[in-house]
């Protein structure tokens, strides 16, 4: 059994301490321990009241997520909650730290809640494809009112203690949580025998009965922020039941039914796969756990453009002073004013107070001199993609920045080893590929060079966590993980256009599949001219898939930046409007290249684009460029808008079944004649052995089972 509950009696108060490091989830041992400890306290006539708290930094981080989908042992959570709620002695939840999901639900079953000043609460089950199934959907609305409760449950947001007090979720805030809670329960036990239960608070439910707006607003919120997800609708139905059913236990019953439907839904498995995938991604199989991590006290950024400014904001937001260098004073001024505008925007939106803005923006300094970053612990170069320029910058950095500092490049595709080779500290050189806008996008691809040291890598993974990024390691290989996959995917979208589909049809099909943005909207956003100019410079003939894009550029249709690309854009708007005038161009280029345009189904569009991703992902895995299948999923969800509820391209392949994936690949290879659809060796071998992506055997068995050796980093694919 995992976890336990420590029992101690102090001053006639039983102190129950949940002990299940590091964050005290409600594993089987904790559930049994809680149940038994409550019985013990009830049976001890000397005990006047109970304080329930957690060991370490968490109160309780929720149900044990690793138990979902498996056989669960021990007492059920709802048995424990019932025991707690009907305990014959007063119970105070001393919320010492993190109280999420089942953790907050535990506290809601107690008579009183006191929170440490630094604690936070929340019901983030929606992020796992679930709903708060321990009574949270019934009890939280009774304290906050349904509107606020729905906001919390649909966003999964964390609410700091002070706000939780204002919202009525906790009764008191304390800086001396355990002592104050003991004192409180002793006093209250001597004053009265009638202790409040959240289930009995009905005033806010009665008020809500006549207010239809609450549900309408919740539906709109779910449709906007949680497109395609199953759990949000279930959460709304639970709150409807809380409002409409007069009997609390009937509401609980409904919650149980809706929870079970979420539990059985494939989205739950996909989203939990990503929860654990993000955490696994930070562990590098051949970097020992106890590798020294450098303390990053100050960061430097080279380049004050969009990327440089966004990266600087990430450091400042994490409380790390950051100094930006640019070679051009005008650029630098512009860059700094963009950063300030971004912070002002957050103030206007109520996401920051003016004081918070001043303090965070105060961490950003700038100048034109390399000597001002000599004391930085890390410097990230974020200039445009030109290897010669990067060589020059790294030579200068190597001279000016202290020798123990890490020097990183924000390249999206250049060779990190080549950059490292011109410095005297190749072990300190690493790629940190942020995604634009860097202050918002969660993905951080960490590019490991041939000589990047364990200490450098471990430090970057730790700083990634501090910057609240989903950091994933990639070997130094062309396109790294994400852009290599993107290339094959957009090429197929372009081939579909050449064969007869139209941009808006392709975009709509992929957006209905769940992608945030279809490929043609994305290409218009990035700009069609970048690739076109590079191809012109190379003097080589454009590949088939680029021919239409190149022709549009010849007509000055570069995408959003010129008001026209695959779509038309009205002045000042990013909304795409169909561009029927392009259709003659499509016809012309198709026929020039021997294609008779045909009707293409949405199914073929989705299959061909997503299969291209899956097949490339499998190759990336077999080459050891990514450590594990889940790393690829984390990259694609956090950097490329793949729907989290499908668990990423590799998880999606497993969900389809590798046999089915191979069958489809072979079908499209036949139709298109393209090697893009030649099934990856990895897929064929895994399918033959009845394995899934991510279920490959251990490193030792791999050669024997799969017939090929992989890079030493790819231990856990």
Binding footprint of ligand 3H9 on the chain (CB under 6 A): 22-23, 25, 61-66, 77, 98, 100-102, 105, 124-125, 128, 130, 132-134, 136, 279
For ligand 3H9, give the closer residue by CB, 3 or 309. 3
Residue 363 DSSP label: T
Q: Which residues are bridge partners to 379 per DSSP? A: 300, 407
Provide, rounded to whole angstroms, the least separation between the CB of residue 146 and ligand 3H9.
18
Q: Annotate 67-128 with DSSP letters as a single string.
A: GTTSPPPSS-HHHHHHHHHT-SS-EEEEE-SEEETHHHHHHHTSSEEEEETT-EEE-GGGGG
For ligand 3H9, give the closer residue by CB, 101 or 146. 101
**List of residues 6+ apart from 557 with CB closer than 8 A:** 528, 564, 565, 566, 579, 582
Task: Output the residue with the shortest Cβ distance to ligand 3H9.
Answer: 101
Please confirm whether the linkage preceding 22 is cis (ω < 30° from 0): yes
Count of Cβ atoms closer than 10 Å to residue 54 Cβ: 28
For ligand 3H9, give the closer residue by CB, 275 or 487. 275
Count of Cβ atoms closer than 10 Å to residue 563 Cβ: 16
Q: Which residues are bridge partners to 63 per DSSP? A: 26
Provide, rounded to whole angstroms, the least separation between the CB of residue 466 and ligand 3H9.
10
For ligand 3H9, give the closer residue by CB, 99 or 493. 99
For ligand 3H9, give the closer residue by CB, 256 or 479. 256
Phi, psi at residue 380, to the nearest 5°?
-115, 120
* CA atoms lying within 13 Å on the CB side of residue 672: 26
Distances (CA, A) of 256 to 132, 219, 574, 620, 685: 9, 21, 43, 42, 42
Provide, rounded to whole angstroms, the least separation between the CB of residue 280 and ligand 3H9.
7
Provide, rounded to whole angstroms, the least separation between the CB of residue 369 and ligand 3H9.
37
Provide, rounded to whole angstroms, the least separation between the CB of residue 485 and ligand 3H9.
25
Count of Cβ atoms closer than 10 Å to residue 640 Cβ: 22
Sheet containing strand 112-116, edge to edge, reads 4-10, 13-19, 49-54, 91-95, 112-116, 172-174
322 touches 376 (CB < 8 A): no
For ligand 3H9, give the closer residue by CB, 177 or 710. 177
Tokens coding 290: 């106890």
Provide, rounded to whole angstroms, the least separation between the CB of residue 523 and ligand 3H9.
35
Q: Annotate 235-273 with DSSP letters as a single string.
A: HHHHHHHHHH-SSHHHHHHHHHHHHHHHHHSHHHHHHHH
* First-residue to last-residue Cα distance in the chain: 28
Provide, rounded to whole angstroms, the least separation between the CB of residue 395 and ligand 3H9.
38
For ligand 3H9, give the closer residue by CB, 391 or 466. 466
* CA atoms lying within 13 Å on the CB side of residue 96: 22
Spell 198-212 as b/e; 16+ CB within 10 A means b: bbeeeebbeebeeee
Active site positions, annotated: 105, 125
For ligand 3H9, give the closer residue by CB, 30 or 407. 30
């Amino acid at each position: 059994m995992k976890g336990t509950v420590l029992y101690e009696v102090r001053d006639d108060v039983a102190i129950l301490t949940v002990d299940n490091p590091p964050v005290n989830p409600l594993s089987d041992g904790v559930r049994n321990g809680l149940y038994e400890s409550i019985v013990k306290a009830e049976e001890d006539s000397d005990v006047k009241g109970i304080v329930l708290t957690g060991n370490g930094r968490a109160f309780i981080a929720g149900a044990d997520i690793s138990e979902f989908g498996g056989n669960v042992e021990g007492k059920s959570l709802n048995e424990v909650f019932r025991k707690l709620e009907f305990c014959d002695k007063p119970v105070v939840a001393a919320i010492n730290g993190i109280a999420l999901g089942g953790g907050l639900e535990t506290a809601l079953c107690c008579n009183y809640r006191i929170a440490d000043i630094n604690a936070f609460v929340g019901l983030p089950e929606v992020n796992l494809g679930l709903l708060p199934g321990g009574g949270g959907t019934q009890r939280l609305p009774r304290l906050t009112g349904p509107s606020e409760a729905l906001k919390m449950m649909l966003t999964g947001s964390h609410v700091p203690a002070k706000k939780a007090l204002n919202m009525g979720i906790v009764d008191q805030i304390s800086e001396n949580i355990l002592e104050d809670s003991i004192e409180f329960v002793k006093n209250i036990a001597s004053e009265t025998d009638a202790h409040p239960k959240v289930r009995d608070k009905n005033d806010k439910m009665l008020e809500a009965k006549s207010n239809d707006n609450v549900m309408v607003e919740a539906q709109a919120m779910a449709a906007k922020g949680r497109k395609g997800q199953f759990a949000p609708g279930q959460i709304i139905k639970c709150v409807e039941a809380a409002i409409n059913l007069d009997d609390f236990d009937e509401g609980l019953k409904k919650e149980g039914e809706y929870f079970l439907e979420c539990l059985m839904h494939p989205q739950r498995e996909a989203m939990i796969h990503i929860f654990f995938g993000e955490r696994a991604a930070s562990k590098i199989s051949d970097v020992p756990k106890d590798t020294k991590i450098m303390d990053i006290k100050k960061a430097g950024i080279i380049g004050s453009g969009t990327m440089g400014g966004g990266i600087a904001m990430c450091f400042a937001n994490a409380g790390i002073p950051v100094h930006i260098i640019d070679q051009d004073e005008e650029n630098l001024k512009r860059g700094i004013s963009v950063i300030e505008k971004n912070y002002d925007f957050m103030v206007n939106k109520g996401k920051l107070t003016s004081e918070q803005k001043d303090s965070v923006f105060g961490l950003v300094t700038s100048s034109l001199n390399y000597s001002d970053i000599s004391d930085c612990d890390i410097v990230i170069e974020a200039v445009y993609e030109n290897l010669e320029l990067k060589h020059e910058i790294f030579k200068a950095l190597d001279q000016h920045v202290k020798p123990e500092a890490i020097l990183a490049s924000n390249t999206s595709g250049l060779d990190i080893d080549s950059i490292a080779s011109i410095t005297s500290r190749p072990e300190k050189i690493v790629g940190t590929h942020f995604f634009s806008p860097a202050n918002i996008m969660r993905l951080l691809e960490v590019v490991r060079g041939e000589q990047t040291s364990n200490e450098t890598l471990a430090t970057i993974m730790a700083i990634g966590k501090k910057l609240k990024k989903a950091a994933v390691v990639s070997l130094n290989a062309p396109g790294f993980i994400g852009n290599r996959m993107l290339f094959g995917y957009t090429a197929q979208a372009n081939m579909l256009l050449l064969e007869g589909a139209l941009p808006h049809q392709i975009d709509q099909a992929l957006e209905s599949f769940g992608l945030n943005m279809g490929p043609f909207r994305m290409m218009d956003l990035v700009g069609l001219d970048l690739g076109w100019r590079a191809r012109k410079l190379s003097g080589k003939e454009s590949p088939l898939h680029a021919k239409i894009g190149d022709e549009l550029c010849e007509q000055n249709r570069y995408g959003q930046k010129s008001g026209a690309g695959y779509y038309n854009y009205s002045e000042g708007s990013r909304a795409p409007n169909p561009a029927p005038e392009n259709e003659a161009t499509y016809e012309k280029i198709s026929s020039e290249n021997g294609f008779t345009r045909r009707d293409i189904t949405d199914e073929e569009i989705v299959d061909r684009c997503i299969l291209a991703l899956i097949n490339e992902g499998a190759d990336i895995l077999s080459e050891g460029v990514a450590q594990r299948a889940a790393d690829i999923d984390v990259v694609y969800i956090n950097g490329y808008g793949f729907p989290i509820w499908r668990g990423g391209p590799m998880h999606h392949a497993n969900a389809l079944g590798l046999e089915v994936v191979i069958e489809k690949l072979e079908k499209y290879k036949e139709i298109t004649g393209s090697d893009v659809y030649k099934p990856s060796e990895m897929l064929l071998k895994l399918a033959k052995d009845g394995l899934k992506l991510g279920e490959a055997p251990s490193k030792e068995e791999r050669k024997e089972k799969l017939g090929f050796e992989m890079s030493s980093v790819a231990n856990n694919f």
